[in-house]
Amino acid sequence: MRRTLLVEDNEGDLRLIQAAVEEVQDLDLELCHVSRLSDAVSGAGREKFDAVLLDLNLPDSQGMNTVRQMRQAAPDVPILVLTGLDDEDMAVRALQNGAQDYLVKGQFDGPQLARAIGRARARSDAAKPGQAEAAHKLIGVLGAKGGCGVTTVACHLATELSRQTSAKTLLADFDLVAGTVGFLMKATSQHSVLEAADMAGQLDLSSWRKLVSNVRPNLDILTAPVTLAGRIAPRQERLAHLLKFVRLNYCWGVVDLGRGLSEFTTGLLDHLDLTFIVITPDVLALARGKQIAETLLASGFPAENLRVIVNRMPESPQLTTRQIESVLNLPVGAALPYGPEQAAAFTVEGKLASPHSALGGQFALVAARLAGLEPAGPKRRWFSFWSGPAGVPPEASEAPEKGSAAEAGPARAAADRLHARLDTPRAAPDETGPSPAAHQLNRELARAKADLEKFACVAGHDLREPARVIAVSVQMLERRVKDKLDAAAKEMVATALDGVAQMLERLDGLVQFSRVNSRGAEFQPVRCQEALAQALSGLDQAMAHAGAVVTHDALPDIHGDGAQIQTVFHTLLANALTYRSEEALRVHVQAERSGGEWAFAVRDNGIGIAPQYAERIFDIFQRLHTRAERPGAGVGLAVTKRIVERHGGRIWVESEPGKGATFFFNIPDPGAVFAAQPVTASKVAGSTKVEMPCRS
């Protein structure tokens, strides 16, 4: 019998969890309930429990502090967080603060709860005495250019993490262009990351085992596709679900991101805890690495989540790690020795470097430092590993004293030449700080953002909770008295459930609407053609079913929030799909430069809109049709308007009933330039027309 401590203050949720457990016969689970964290902490000190089910918002504790206090009180007991909000960021924070799993209320039954507790208990029991605590961390490895050895680094790092920690580790190949992890590691599964992304949201351990290859103890491999021909890269939402599954079920995840930055790669970085940029000590690799670092830092990407690995470092380098840090403005996490024989053996045969070799030993040291283990043996002088704040030099590469022979030697001269070639002048610090008015404005903005976040939390969690309790209670009541309900009673049950579903849909819309500004990413270059393709990939089945054809002119690169621009395209395409006429749907997207902005147009041949409603449709929850006629909550266009306004533009529609609609929006971007013409383009009426593929 598994004794489980349930810490829940909401009586409705308590009854639902108890009923879910009681409905399953022979369920080996005993629930012990308390409603306050102080009682849970006290109980964990007196009694033995196999697991803790922990609500995050209790009368005497809220948020991640709840997890931390419970972990401190019961360090050997797995904690499963219970919450009413399906929020990936919150799930990640819970795992990082010591939870073993993250369960969304209303989305699990008794058997699923028992299996989750069993898995958490098994993961906890698998931890060995003296071993680093399960980290549940995702680490990315990104090559500055081809030939830097990014796959070599990813494979060795994952292998060493699994070997040294004896913890479940996944090596995932997200290099959709030239991924070779599966070949080099001798993976046996015929499936790839594309199939895994397609199943994201419905994955369980049984289906997952069919997607991965177990090539070594505690090490699974998820390969890249052999080719992308005829296929579309997975949407960011599916990848987010996939990485969430990996984080929950593996202690370590190492992701091969391929070479160079793309919108696909940039979207993945936000879900990783640490990313290594792999370079070699040559001018081209340093220049590419510097470009990647500057792009990410300028977009607001946290500097503490970036490190550099210098591969193929000679024993007598022209540049020290300290000088490379000066060029890239990022800390060097590792400098790996040049081992041509081991590198050739891995590339040709997939043979990993021995931990006893110079190269293998340094991979072992990197993994040990990541896992918080103290490696034995002396360090090589030319190796450095640093996990502190950016700009602080690592111990193994401290700068020589000013005026010493080392400082004035050839390494310093080489660094000066490199700075000149990369055109990276050392700017003097700005001695003028923000004005008092600016400080006041920043405080007001921070307070407004905090208020919005608080509202989103209330709408997403506190208001959803009673609605969810009503829905599940009605469903349980229906199952218990199903044979006694007449047709009228069954209709009332259906009406109640539909009303709750509408309430939850609107609450989700409020959260999405409120987070456009508070959760928006920093602006960076956005390829609109890629954003449109990603938006369409989420609608491909519906478009194919409707026989729709989407075309577009060459679209520009702009400066903005890539995920939000994708949302704008997705909403307008979905709107055209929802309000299509009896004719086969045709949508065309185009953009023109007008002064200092780009003017976009999305034109369809749907049922159209009466001019008097042209402004009303952009108000939240405003609909022109009943739910029976056309589905939707009246949120999408309101969110789209808010996104466009955040980018400094405006959105409007021109239409007549029965003649389709054209949605216009403009994005200020003085420095935008047209993207390269796509390979499949054909000239139509003097413009470039591209048919977007719809998978059936």
Cα maximum dimension of the chain: 94
Instruction: Give the model's pLDDT for residue 672.
Output: 43
Q: Which two tokens stand for residue 464?
A: 């959803």
Least confident of 296-300, 318-322, 502-506: 502-506
pLDDT tens digit sequence for 47-90: 888 889 998 888 888 888 888 899 888 888 889 988 776 666 67
Of 531, 532, 160, give the one whose Cα is nearest residue 352: 160
Q: pLDDT tens digits, residue range 95-117?
A: 778 888 888 777 777 777 777 78
| Mean of the per-residue pLDDT values of the chain | 75
- Mean pLDDT for 347-366 is 72
Interval 204-214 mean pLDDT: 84
H/E run at residue 55: strand 51-55
Classify 620 in phi/psi space as left (phi over 0), alpha (psi -120 to 50) or beta: beta
Q: What is the tens place of the pLDDT at every residue in 413-447?
A: 544 554 454 444 444 444 455 567 666 776 776 66
With beta carbons less than 8 A apart as the criterion, state whether 181 and 205 touch. no
Q: Which helix (H) or strand (E) holds 93?
A: helix 88-96
What is the phi-psi region of residue 686: left when phi exceeds 0, alpha when psi lies from -120 to 50, beta otherwise? left
Average pLDDT over residues 192-215: 83
Q: Is pLDDT at 575 greater than 50 in this prediction?
A: yes
Confidence bin at 330 (pLDDT 50/70/90): confident
**381-to-105, 310, 314, 376 alpha-carbon distances in Å:** 53, 15, 12, 15
User: For 551-570, what is the HEC assignment?
Assistant: EECCCEEEEECHHHHHHHHH
pLDDT recorded at residue 386: 35
In this prediction, residue 663 carries a pLDDT of 93
CA dihedral 636, 641, 645, 649 (to 10 degrees): 120
- From the number of C-beta atoms within 10 Å of its C-beta (0-12, 13-18, 19+), residue 505 rates as middle
Q: Which residue type occupies 404?
A: S
CA angle 251, 255, 257 (to 5 degrees): 165
For 236-257, what is each residue's pLDDT tens digit? 778 888 888 888 888 899 999 9
Beta-carbon contacts of residue 448 (< 8 Å; ≥ 6 apart): none
Tell me whether residue 340 is exposed, middle or buried, using C-beta atoms within 10 angstroms of its C-beta: 0 to 12, 13 to 18, 19 or more: exposed
**pLDDT given at position 460:** 57
Residues in the chain: 696
What are the pLDDT digits (tens) for 490-537? 888 887 877 777 777 777 777 777 667 666 777 888 889 888 988 887
The angle, 0 to 180 degrees and rounded to 10, between the axes of the packed helices 487-518 and 436-457 is 160
Q: Report the pLDDT value the prediction gives residue 402, as an integer from 0 to 100.
A: 40
**Is the backbone of residue 258 left (phi > 0), alpha (psi -120 to 50) or beta?**
left
Q: How far is CA 689 from the centre of its chain?
A: 33
Q: Is residue 226 over pLDDT 50? A: yes
Structure tokens at 107: 């989305």
Q: How confident is the model at residue 346 (pLDDT cuts 50, 70, 90)?
A: low
Q: What are 338-341's contacts with CB under 8 Å, separation 24+?
A: 338/312, 338/313, 338/314
For the entire predicted model, the pTM comes to 0.46
The helix or strand, by DSSP H or E, that contains position 173, with its residue range, turns out to be strand 169-173
Angstrom distance (rounded) from CA 71 to CA 75: 5
- pLDDT in the model for residue 139: 92
